[in-house]
Structure 1
């Protein structure tokens, strides 16, 4: 038997028990070790996610790690027993976007583990074997559950094209922001500044490799200073703020998921300052490979971000904690 959290509709969930699914052709069954809860999962639970990007009833859980428990027909038997993570987007692999490497922008249509397809808030998860990114045998599966947000940040680092010796700012010191600090620190910046209104979070960024930690009101004095600004917060003004921090000819990468009504980016500043602005939606296969590689060689260590762990039976407590504003709450995991 296998347990899973099913969100039937916004605000309504149940813990179900059902027969363990056998993997089909080209699939593997994963024994889930840990699954992270992020604000997107809270949006699914509360009913705030865009209707085109969720399908009820759904088993949430798109940030996860586990071990291959069984393989289906046509899958290499050697994968059985391997620690692994996997991409969430179910890209077709043949459209123009996929052929160019942008598998997260597949034109076939949106399908993603934990949003429109069963996710990892469960004992077991079945996914196509082609999406797996196997991990080293000694990998910490608790930490590896954060490789999905790390892949998003790897995509942002690629988009930002950071170079050694540049001045870089990271706006937001949540999970994405602190992972960004870790990865960008490995690029040998001249200065790496973390910006967050929460002093404890901004200070935590120093232990992740930032040179400076500033509150937003302090950062205003450094407008036009940075070669690259990576925005990770998705707050109402952070896209606008990120563009103000960038120097003329600088680069801005937006990774936060913004709600309708967020402050717009001044087109006059864009044109006169000749800014390059990129956005990131999920992560391509190549960005996943970057994140897994960085994790495997120790450049990326998400473990210090984890503050709370709950069993499936306490999902209600766990989802309430995420986004509660509790200053002691970092990354929250479910441990089936």
Structure 2
């Protein structure tokens, strides 16, 4: 439980019970990401967190109880679930864009109890079921994979295109895996951490470079730029850099979470180059379905991205690792069932 920024404690209480239309999930693993670090540090934007809160929005587990009116066939199923608690009645929700719900932001792990716990209760309608053989440790990364899937769907990649991915963190690595399935002519990974950029080659990138080795006025070595640039880092200058890497008439999708003060996009360059720019925040149901299908088909393999696994009482250490900047730190998982002794 994070009571307020910088203060957390391990709490115990009665086992939660699912209400009508709900399920209870026994959490197998939950990922710790930069958004959780922001929640802990108190830097998450106002309105996008409600203290006190149990964090945890990236997770996988097994349904172990169902509430009244919920299909009992869900019992024992491996699953992940959407985090946004959309109203389903506003115009945006009716269009299927639940991440744009006009009723206000409400998400598991930020405004609702999350998965850094033994159990999680949530509406059954949010579930996405996994195969019985699914690796739940790897499936805990399907939430960031769904965000990446939303970006890829927005980007509309085509076979034979030249594509660049800015950032080789969790989002970037997952983006490389999904984009590689479209058979691009070139798939470049860019990251200031040379070690992480090189690791992207194992995920399907054809080339890897640091920003210093990438020409800022176009593509690498001064070529004509990329058909598609997918930004995943959320660093102060990466939105600007993504636009500069795109060819004239190219497409840019911004996926990273930027903080106030990030470098702006040059409107003159945007206009003259006739770029198409999209942004992604969270993931609608279609993106979740896409990510889960890709995982089941073997097109997504998040398991190699996990570098650390800790028990729940290791939350403090997990937050430290996520914010350390150490290139050897990939995805950090909390495992409720681990013996902390």
Q: What is the distance in 2 between the residues matched to 1:142 and 1:232?
A: 23
**What TM-score comes out, normalization by structure 1 length?**
0.98
Q: Which residue of 2 aligns with 1:260?
A: 260
1:176 aligns with 2:171: yes
Which secondary structure state, in structure 1, belongs to the residue aligned with residue 187 of structure 2? strand
Q: What is the distance in 2 between the residues matched to 1:121 and 1:223?
A: 46
Q: What is the distance in 2 between the residues matched to 1:226 and 1:155?
A: 20
Which secondary structure state, in structure 2, belongs to the residue aligned with residue 139 of structure 1? coil
1:153 aligns with 2:171: no
Q: Which residue of 2 aligns with 1:282?
A: 282
Unaligned runs of 5+ in 1: 1-5
Runs of 4+ in 1 over 3 A off after TM superposition: 221-224
Q: Which residue of 1 aligns with 2:75?
A: 80
1:96 aligns with 2:91: yes
Stretch of structure 1 that moved more, 222-231 or 255-264: 222-231
Q: Which residue of 1 aligns with 2:45?
A: 50
1:304 aligns with 2:304: yes
Q: Which residue of 2 aligns with 1:245?
A: 245
Residue number among 135, 141, 152 corresponding to 1:140 in the alignment: 135
Report the CA distance between 1:223 and its aligned residue.
6.2
Q: Which residue of 2 aligns with 1:230?
A: 230
Report the CA distance between 1:63 and its aligned residue.
0.3
Q: Which residue of 1 aligns with 2:202?
A: 207
Which secondary structure state, in structure 1, belongs to the residue aligned with residue 247 of structure 2? strand
Which secondary structure state, in structure 2, belongs to the residue aligned with residue 318 of structure 1? helix
Report the CA distance between 1:327 and its aligned residue.
2.2
Q: Deviations over 1:49-108 (max 9, x none)?
A: 012100000000000000001000111000000000000000111211111111111111
**What TM-score comes out, normalization by structure 2 length?**
0.96
Q: Is 1:222–1:245's contact at 8 Å kept on the other side of the alignment?
A: no
Q: What is the distance in 2 between the residues matched to 1:37 and 1:22?
A: 25
1:167 aligns with 2:148: no
Q: What is the distance in 2 between the residues matched to 1:191 and 1:74?
A: 50
Unaligned runs of 5+ in 2: 216-220, 337-341
Q: What is the distance in 2 between the residues matched to 1:112 and 1:121?
A: 14
Q: Which residue of 1 aligns with 2:193?
A: 198
Which secondary structure state, in structure 2, belongs to the residue aligned with residue 287 of structure 1? helix
Report the CA distance between 1:224 and its aligned residue.
4.1
Q: Which residue of 2 aligns with 1:294?
A: 294
Residue number among 17, 20, 34 corresponding to 2:15 in the alignment: 20
Q: What is the distance in 2 between the residues matched to 1:135 and 1:93?
A: 24
Q: Which residue of 1 aligns with 2:314?
A: 314
Q: Is 1:223–1:244's contact at 8 Å kept on the other side of the alignment?
A: no
Relative to 1, partners in 2 of residues 1:54 and 1:322: Cα closer, same or farther, differing over 3 Å? same
Q: What is the distance in 2 between the residues matched to 1:17 and 1:268?
A: 56
